[in-house]
Amino acid sequence: MQFYRECNVQDIPSMWEINEQGLPGTGKVSVEQMGELLQLSDLCIGAYIDGKLVGFVLCLYPKKDYSSQNYAWFNERYNQFIYVDRIAISTQHRDKKIGSELYERVFQLATKKQIPITAEVSLRPPNEGSDRFHLRHGFSSVGEFHQSGKSVTMYIRE
């Protein structure tokens, strides 16, 4: 049976494992950092099959004390948004629309609050699958952000 619910501290080890499966696209974090992200998040929804976490989306509102340069880029340009810090699906559960179902829950919140959703996708190294996924879900590019050794495409869905 598949269901969705807010992630909690018991999910942190599974969230970390799923995040590791998505590297380099998801961004490397330690188990401790994953816990800090969960605590900082305003929304973290997990997808569960037979009680096991198989994917999650973790989001933040603006003006959080978060050191991500990508998040700061959006904060410099927008007053209101839901920032998708990461969306990750376990390797064995990809291509089963779980990511779309997770995003649908974020879309519902954004519609209710009447605010856009922001996300970035790795440009260097390229993450073409994530680019296609975001474009298919109504995101459009609002710029590129180049950092040492990494570049990302900045996306918004209004």
Q: What is the pLDDT of residues 121-154, one digit of tens each?
A: 999 888 898 999 999 999 999 999 998 888 999 9
Give the global pTM: 0.95
Count of structural domains, the chain: 1
Question: Which sign, positive or negative, has the C-alpha torsion 155, 79, 104, 95?
Answer: positive
The span from the CA of 97 to the CA of 121, in Å, is 19
CA-CA-CA-CA torsion for 80, 6, 1, 138, nearest 10 degrees? Answer: 10
Range(s) of the domain holding residue 22: 2-157
With H, G, I as helix, E, B as strand and everything else as coil, classify residue 148.
coil
Q: Could you report the per-residue pLDDT of 80-102, keeping only the tens digit for each?
A: 999 999 999 999 999 899 999 99
Can you give the pLDDT at residue 1? 87
Question: Of the given ranges (19-33, 50-64, 81-95), which has the lowest mean pLDDT?
Answer: 19-33
Residue 70 maps to which CATH number? 3.40.630.30
